[in-house]
Structure 1
Amino acid sequence: MKILDTLSLGALGIRVRRARAGLSALGISIGIATMIVVTAVPASSQADLMRQLSALGTNLLQVTAVPDQDPPARIPESAVAMVSRIQPVTEVSAVGNTHTPVRRNAEIAADANPDLAVLAAAPGLMPAVGGSLAAGHWLDPGLPTTVLGARTAARLGITSLDHAPLVTIGSTEFAVVGLLEPVALTPDLDYAALVGWPVATHTLGFDGHPTALYVRSVEAQLEAVRSVLATTVAPERPGDVTVSRPSDALAAKRATQQNFSVLFLGLAGVALVVGGIGVANTMVISVLERRAEIGLRRALGATRGQIRSQFLTESVMLAGLGGLAGTLLGVLATAGYASWNGWPVVIPAAAALAGVIGAVAVGVLAGLYPAVRASRLTPTVALAST
């Protein structure tokens, strides 16, 4: 019997018994949809949690000079360039303390705000520290402009940029072009007035040595990057610098990823087993109800192999239809629920693929016993049972 004939014969049982076939397909589609939902909804929730944990600086390291050394420890001027050559490093920037006072105008004493620092900012500072502007724009490195941290702006009484405010840094007036939101990962920047690196060197007498480096790397390689940072920053005197340890949030993020992976596998397995039992039950009942049909086909010359093929094909088609419907239903349900919660919609490719392939595999396994049982019926026994 040709393949097309086998497929047509397998589909015949589904077409003739539409209600039973529909209910059977519904059973496995619910199982597959459940598998998609119980894997994709936690995956979407996990993606949102990972996003929140990443905002806590899970891949951020900070390098600073060791304080109170004689002679004073200094980070080399070439440190940013050297660290950027480390392959897993994705972003690196720096600030340097100019040791210059900042005040609202020249009429105020220079030592009026001793806890406010004027920092030279290297390119890429905001992405490296996860900072953002509350108003205005970023620095023009070559011009006397400044961006104020949240606490600095409040201390100087600057709440908006409507009237092009000016501040005095050292003996030079700087235009305030931006105000920062509070920087959660590096709160020291809240008490800073940031200026461009070139203008700090030419106007404020800055020596060009960074006081802090901010390094982001691929999370999986964070420990490896940390182990070489000191020797990369200060190869001649690595003891002059300290490197922060990875954030505790990184350990929490990795533990969460591992636990979610185990949960996904367990739930997916249970859903497939439940769907398989439903298909097996349907096919066994189908064999019992269709004994007369089997006997008639055997009497007309159908071989045992053809009987097995017929019922196995019907089982696989039934499971496949249920798998396709269940996968679509699971994807739509997950997308709706994740969007309602404001999560990114994540449909694991493995779960979606397993929805169809798993359903077909379940159909083969669930239909194997009923198909073999049907093929073993002799024509006389099958016809006598009607």
Structure 2
Amino acid sequence: MSPLDLLTLGLLGIRTRKLRAALSALGISIGIATLIIVTGIPASSQRALMDQLAAMGTNMLQVAPIPNQTPPVLLPQEAAAMAARIGPVTAVSAVANTHATVHRSDRFDPHDFTGLTVLATQGDLPRLLNATVRSGQFLTAATDRLPTAVLGSVAADRLGFNRLDPGGPAPQVFINSRWFTLIGILDPTPLSPDIDRSVMVGWDAAQHLLDFDGHPTLIYLKAREEAIEAVRAVLPATVHPELPGMVQVSRPSEALAAKRATQTTFSALFLGLAAIALLVGGIGVANTMVISVLERRREIGLRRALGANRRQICAQFLTESVALSVLGGLAGSLLGVAATLAYALYQHWPPVIPATAMAGGLAGALAIGVAAGVYPSVRAARLTPTTALATL
């Protein structure tokens, strides 16, 4: 028999007994769908939790000179660039206190103090701090040398700016006897509340217009989470090789430890749920294949009487068991994926479908189905035609 003939014969039972085949495949479908659901829904929940913990700055460090030193310790001007060369570091930005004063207009009381800090900024600061722009835009390379400014949320409230009108005249603030045009306002930044009380200007603009000396006072950086402790250990000597002992680095966020513990807990949970679901699906497959072979022993006897040999009998029923497993597995995969996506979207979670769960569930159910069909088919194939026909 050719493989095509064998496949046609193996699918004969499915085509002629559609209801029985559908019910047989249903057990496999439920098992695999359960496997995908009980792994996909917790995985989606875990991803949502991981995103929330990551927003708390689990992979961020801050570098600054030790304060209140005589004489004051200054970080090198190229400190941020040197930190960016550390392998696991993915992003770096720096800010510096320009010690400039800012007011709403040039008509101010000399004794009036706004309590706001004018910061020179460098790099993509909003991305480092997970900050969002409420109105306008943040500083860019094109505006770095221009007298433009961005306000933190508290600074905007104190200076009387709620938002910027795109079509209206650009508002200005008075910084160290110079007018700076406002181009953006930030939302509150929980990772760095000092930014909320700051007026940010370009690094080059601060040097040319505000007599800024170019030494950063605070460096923000992000690194791969698995290497955050190693990066923290080498940062002082990297950013200030001459005085590493005068550099302080923030500790990794405590949320990082919580995130790692959560990942371990969820991993163990996934393994347990997957094992249970696969076992249930496997039992259903085995039961389906055993019954399918036993109820057709009369057909086996008839085919033996017509000249079919034992190998052909085994191949026929193994082909049918494989086909049932594949059909049930595909249906269960689609059902499990659809249910997981629907629930994740309902909960506003990022949907996650573990590929290992789909592949492992289908392969496991298929292997168990084949194994369950081998023994009964071999036993039935060994029967003589008269004995097989006499059993029913």
TM-score of the superposed pair, with normalisation by structure 2: 0.93
State the partner residue of 1:290. 296
State the partner residue of 2:73. 73
State the partner residue of 2:256. 250
- Matching residue's letter, 2:73: A
Deviations 1:224-272 (A, max 9, x none): 2111111110011111111111111112222222222222222222222
Is residue 160 from structure 1 mapped to residue 163 from structure 2 by the alignment? yes
State the partner residue of 2:134. 134
When structure 1 is superposed on structure 2, of 298-307 and 117-126 the one drifting more is 298-307
State the partner residue of 1:149. 152
Q: Is the 8 A contact 1:39 1:351 kept in 2?
A: yes
Q: Is the 8 A contact 1:338 1:345 kept in 2?
A: yes
Deviations 1:10-66 (A, max 9, x none): 212222222111101011111111111111222222222222111111111100110
Is residue 237 from structure 1 mapped to residue 243 from structure 2 by the alignment? yes
State the partner residue of 2:323. 317
Q: Is the 8 A contact 2:134 2:163 kept in 1?
A: no
Instruction: Detail structure 1 runs of 4+ shifted over 4 Å in the superposition.
Output: none
**Structure 1 unmatched runs, 5+:** none
- Matching residue's letter, 1:210: P
Is residue 123 from structure 1 mapped to residue 123 from structure 2 by the alignment? yes
Q: Is the 8 A contact 1:90 1:217 kept in 2?
A: yes
State the partner residue of 2:374. 368
State the partner residue of 2:341. 335
Change (3 A) 1:157 1:54: same
Superposition map of 1:49-198 within 5 A: 49-113=49-113, 115-139=115-139, 140-162=143-165, 163-198=169-204
CA shift for structure 1 position 8: 2.2
* 2: CA distance, partners of 1:131 / 1:328: 39
When structure 1 is superposed on structure 2, of 278-287 and 118-127 the one drifting more is 278-287
SS of corresponding position for 1:29: helix
State the partner residue of 1:2. 2
State the partner residue of 2:355. 349
Change (3 A) 1:245 1:263: same
CA shift for structure 1 position 122: 0.9
SS of corresponding position for 1:216: strand
- Matching residue's letter, 2:227: Q
Change (3 A) 1:231 1:257: same
When structure 1 is superposed on structure 2, of 6-15 and 91-100 the one drifting more is 6-15
Deviations 1:42-101 (A, max 9, x none): 222222222211111111110011011122111110101111111211110100001112
Q: Is the 8 A contact 2:148 2:180 kept in 1?
A: yes
State the partner residue of 1:384. 390
CA shift for structure 1 position 111: 5.0
Choose which of 270, 277, 286 in structure 2 pairs with 1:280: 286
When structure 1 is superposed on structure 2, of 68-77 and 373-382 the one drifting more is 373-382
Q: Is the 8 A contact 2:10 2:320 kept in 1?
A: yes
Q: Is the 8 A contact 1:280 1:370 kept in 2?
A: no
CA shift for structure 1 position 362: 2.4
* 1: CA distance, partners of 2:24 / 2:316: 17
State the partner residue of 1:218. 224
* 2: CA distance, partners of 1:338 / 1:298: 53
CA shift for structure 1 position 165: 2.6
* 1: CA distance, partners of 2:292 / 2:119: 80
CA shift for structure 1 position 188: 0.4
- Matching residue's letter, 1:313: T
- Matching residue's letter, 1:203: L
* 2: CA distance, partners of 1:382 / 1:62: 80
CA shift for structure 1 position 306: 2.6
When structure 1 is superposed on structure 2, of 29-38 and 268-277 the one drifting more is 268-277
* 1: CA distance, partners of 2:332 / 2:138: 51
CA shift for structure 1 position 346: 1.8
* 2: CA distance, partners of 1:111 / 1:347: 62
- Matching residue's letter, 2:149: T
* 1: CA distance, partners of 2:257 / 2:383: 61
Is residue 199 from structure 1 mapped to residue 202 from structure 2 by the alignment? no
* 1: CA distance, partners of 2:64 / 2:270: 42
Change (3 A) 1:362 1:118: same
* 2: CA distance, partners of 1:179 / 1:281: 66
Q: Is the 8 A contact 1:21 1:318 kept in 2?
A: yes
Choose which of 274, 277, 285 in structure 2 pairs with 1:271: 277
CA shift for structure 1 position 355: 4.1
When structure 1 is superposed on structure 2, of 371-380 and 202-211 the one drifting more is 371-380
Choose which of 305, 309, 317 in structure 2 pairs with 1:303: 309
* 2: CA distance, partners of 1:333 / 1:128: 36
CA shift for structure 1 position 114: 5.8
CA shift for structure 1 position 110: 4.4
CA shift for structure 1 position 333: 1.8
CA shift for structure 1 position 311: 1.9
* 2: CA distance, partners of 1:187 / 1:22: 61
Q: Is the 8 A contact 1:35 1:271 kept in 2?
A: yes
CA shift for structure 1 position 290: 2.1
CA shift for structure 1 position 134: 1.1
Question: How many residues are treated as equivalent by the alignment?
Answer: 386
TM-score of the superposed pair, with normalisation by structure 1: 0.94
- Matching residue's letter, 2:289: M
